[in-house]
């Protein structure tokens, strides 16, 4: 991974705030990609964001990125 990509991943995790995942923290996800894991809402969204970030690092044309400030600087 290039330095820019590593920095983007590091920034993503540094800026990740669990309070942004405020839709019922005690609710377990029963639908969607990771529903078989029976994760709480915050855990599920974190996995989805990680998946999108990894895809975007592999494919520069991938547009569905999780919000990361200054990602393209």
- pLDDT tens digits for 23-73? 566 788 777 777 788 888 888 888 888 888 888 888 878 777 655 555 555
Q: Is residue 49 part of a domain?
A: yes
Can you tell me the distance from the alpha carbon of 30 to that of 55, in angstroms, rounded to the nearest whole number? Answer: 24
Number of separate domains in the chain: 1
pTM over 0.85: no
Containing domain of residue 11, as a range?
1-17+27-68
Is residue 55 a part of any domain in this protein? yes
Residue carrying the six token digits 């999780």: 66
């Amino acid at each position: 991974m290039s330095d820019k990509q590593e920095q983007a991943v590091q920034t993503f995790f540094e800026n990740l705030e669990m309070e942004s995942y405020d839709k019922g923290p005690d609710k377990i996800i029963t639908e969607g990609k990771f529903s078989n894991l029976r994760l709480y809402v915050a855990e599920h969204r974190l996995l989805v964001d990680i998946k999108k970030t990894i895809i975007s690092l592999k494919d520069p044309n991938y547009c569905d990125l999780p919000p990361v400030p200054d990602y393209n600087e």
